[in-house]
Amino acid sequence: MSEVLLKTANLRRTFGGLAANDNISLELRRGEVHAVLGPNGAGKSTLINLLSGDIAATSGEIFYRDRDITRLTPHERSLIGIGRSYQKTNIFPGFTVRENCRLAAQSREPRGARIFSDAAAWGPYRTVVDAALRDAGLVDVAERRASDLSHGQQRQLELAIVLATRPEVLLLDEPLAGMGHEESLRMIQLLRGLVASHAILLVEHDMEAVFSIADVLTVMVNGVILMTGAPEQIRSSAEVQQAYLGSEEADHA
């Protein structure tokens, strides 16, 4: 089996009296897309926020390889190889696509070592920026201003910005949100190209896309894991049908 990069043990987060995540134990492996499904309010965003460090766990642990990272800040997690995208765009609109990636690449350096004003200091980032642009399908628009990109290209730039931080783990929060069919297919193709070298956690409402790309699915309901399994197991589970997929299909009927 492939290498476990990120693992949680009995992770819990409460907001007042509500357990938004409770007893969450899961593993993200290199070479796998692990999708997290669940109805609105199930706790998916809370889980991503806990893994990225944007919110603190109430109890439980998060391990990166064998290191306990439960108390690390988001920046510290980014430095060791955990990258996340946000539902809300994280782009500098007045900068070019390439400049956005350069800034992200530079953020990997310890704070004192950053020299934003010196363009020559960006040289060492060229390789990683070029790779991020290539892997996110943006080579042809690298010199365009981010604000001039289409919605789908801006979502690709979100991905490029994360890739420029050289992560091994990608935490992707609704990367297909607001995309048309063609744009979604393009993004799925790009994600497929990244799987071999990364562990990918995907929160996404587009079921067709999720089932077309996920190797493992975790279904959450009311803050807890209902089931984790391969796509065919999830699809054929009566429990999952009842708790989630059935109601989703009914919603879209």
Q: Which residues here bind ligand ATP, judged by CB under 6 A?
A: 15, 18, 20, 38, 40-46
Taking the complex as a whole, the smallest distance from the CB of residue 203 to ligand ATP amounts, in Å, to 7
Taking the complex as a whole, the smallest distance from the CB of residue 228 to ligand ATP amounts, in Å, to 16
Count CB neighbours of 61 within 10 A.
15
Taking the complex as a whole, the smallest distance from the CB of residue 84 to ligand ATP amounts, in Å, to 14
Q: Which residues contact 209 (CB under 8 A, 6 or more apart)?
A: 176, 184, 188
Residue 204: what are its φ and ψ, rounded to 5°?
A: -155, 135
Q: Between 31 and 41, whose beta carbon lies closer to ligand ATP?
A: 41
Residue 47 exposed, middle or buried by CB count within 10 Å (0-12, 13-18, 19+): buried
Q: Between 25 and 150, whose beta carbon lies closer to ligand ATP?
A: 25
Taking the complex as a whole, the smallest distance from the CB of residue 226 to ligand ATP amounts, in Å, to 12
Q: Between 18 and 230, whose beta carbon lies closer to ligand ATP?
A: 18
Q: ∠ CA 198-44-195 to the nearest 5 degrees?
A: 15
Find, among 202, 205, 137, 217, the residue nearest to 170 by Cα. 202
Helices and strands, counts by H and E, the chain: 10, 11
Q: Between 79 and 177, whose beta carbon lies closer to ligand ATP?
A: 177
Q: Between 20 and 217, whose beta carbon lies closer to ligand ATP?
A: 20
Show the tokens assigned to 217. 């699915």
